[in-house]
Structure 1
Amino acid sequence: MRKKYIITGPPGAGKTTLLKALESKGISCMEEASRKVIMREQNNNGTGTPWQDMNKFSCLVYQQTMKDLQSRKDSIFCDRSLLDNAAYLQYADLKNEIFLEEFDYDRYYQRKVFFAPSWEEIYEQDEQRPEKFEELNGLDKVLIDTYRQKGYDLIFLPKKSVIERVEFVLQHVESEKTKSIVS
């Protein structure tokens, strides 16, 4: 199984757009489990969404992520990780789920994480992202703190075009490959 590079950040910061651009270059990426869960819950009139039942949502995202990790073993990048769920629970002042605390993150994820910061100019609300931009104030910090507490090194994506972000990410990944060959 290939360890994945995580692309994380708050909603609407350009993560999915970046991953789609990477895929268009033939790079295998794992899509966001959270959005799949939200869409499924909405289609089935379920309550497992972040704004209805965050704990149920976390369990469903965990299950979906485990399926995706097994079926997408070749993926190089992934849209978020289970650490995002831990951060969201903390952001909502809810207790962390034991399965998030005990999960073997190092088995599945690279230590370098790409972080897309809040970017109001590109933020768009939709059915799976109903929050207004202002409602997400402080989420960046919680996500950053959660990743750093687990020992991940964050690489902050520039607020630039998708093409420039793709080049930025690929340069960093190539740099990591070179470092591991030299070491």
Structure 2
Amino acid sequence: MRRFILTGTPGSGKTTLLEELARRGHDVVREAATDVIARRQAAGEAAPWERAGFVDEVAGVQRARAAAGPSAAAGAVRFHDRSPVCTEALRIFLGRPASPALTAELDRIGTEATYRREVFFVRGLGFVERTAARRISLADALAFERLHEEVYRARGYRLIEVPAAAVSARADLVEAAVREMLPEV
């Protein structure tokens, strides 16, 4: 299994780290929620995360992105900016009930062992830059970070800490950890 998840709180630098890994030649899968929010906001929906079907829409986009791309079947290392486990944490954070669609997706990734059990947990930078899609306070971001930890651990994932640092140092840490787990890489 060569699919690794990058997770953490909003604004922790996951996307910047993912872009650096892509620049270094790695296959990457972009985060889904931000794109779902942007598409809905462009259509005039101010706060799409308030819509009942938001979490399931995010999970659907995640699944489609995970299945796409040339290396999905070729065995290359692939980094995913978030996963359905993150979407489960989002569901809990938003106070939404579990849906059959998300539950089925979580069951599927568990049964199929879609992702490595080692997850790169990208720690927050100590601030949150607000955007149209990211309207979370630092206090809420820290609570959301703790919730991600709890949900991943409850599902049996091992978190690999990626502390706040320059993006190149973070990418070096991720690559070194992957080489240790997959010496043939």
Kept in 2, the 8 Å contact 1:37–1:60? The answer is yes
Cα-Cα RMSD: 1.8
What is the DSSP-based 3-state SS (H/G/I as helix, E as strand, rest coil) of the residue aligned with 1:109?
coil
Residue 64 (structure 1) aligns with: 61
C-alpha displacement of 1:4: 1.5
Are residues 109 and 47 of structure 1, via their aligned partners in 2, closer, same or farther at CA, if it must alter by over 3 Å? Answer: farther
What TM-score do the two structures reach when normalised by structure 2? Answer: 0.87
Counterpart CA distance in 2 for 1:151 and 1:47 is 36
Mapped pair 1:32 → 2:37:
no
Counterpart of 2:179, as a letter, is E
Q: Map residues 124-143 of structure 1 onto 2, 5 A cutoff.
A: 124-143=129-148
Mapped pair 1:115 → 2:121:
yes
Mapped pair 1:105 → 2:140:
no
What TM-score do the two structures reach when normalised by structure 1? Answer: 0.87
Residue 82 (structure 1) aligns with: 84
Gaps of 5+ in 1: none
Counterpart CA distance in 2 for 1:156 and 1:97 is 30
Deviates more, 1:88-97 or 1:57-66: 88-97
Gaps of 5+ in 2: 73-77
Give the count of matched residue pairs.
Answer: 175
C-alpha displacement of 1:124: 1.0
| Structure 1 residue ranges (4+ consecutive) displaced by more than 4 angstroms after TM superposition | none
Counterpart CA distance in 2 for 1:29 and 1:117 is 19
Kept in 1, the 8 Å contact 2:9–2:142? The answer is no
Question: After superposition, what is the alpha-carbon deviation per residue over 1:60-89, rounded to whole angstroms, capped at 9, x for unaligned?
Answer: 112211221221352600100011111111
Question: After superposition, what is the alpha-carbon deviation per residue over 1:16-47, rounded to whole angstroms, capped at 9, x for unaligned?
Answer: 00000001111110000111111111111247
Deviates more, 1:163-172 or 1:108-117: 108-117
Task: Give the % identical residues.
Answer: 26
Counterpart CA distance in 2 for 1:48 and 1:57 is 10
Counterpart CA distance in 2 for 1:151 and 1:39 is 32
Counterpart CA distance in 2 for 1:13 and 1:70 is 26
What is the DSSP-based 3-state SS (H/G/I as helix, E as strand, rest coil) of the residue aligned with 2:171?
helix
Are residues 137 and 26 of structure 1, via their aligned partners in 2, closer, same or farther at CA, if it must alter by over 3 Å? Answer: closer
Are residues 142 and 25 of structure 1, via their aligned partners in 2, closer, same or farther at CA, if it must alter by over 3 Å? Answer: same
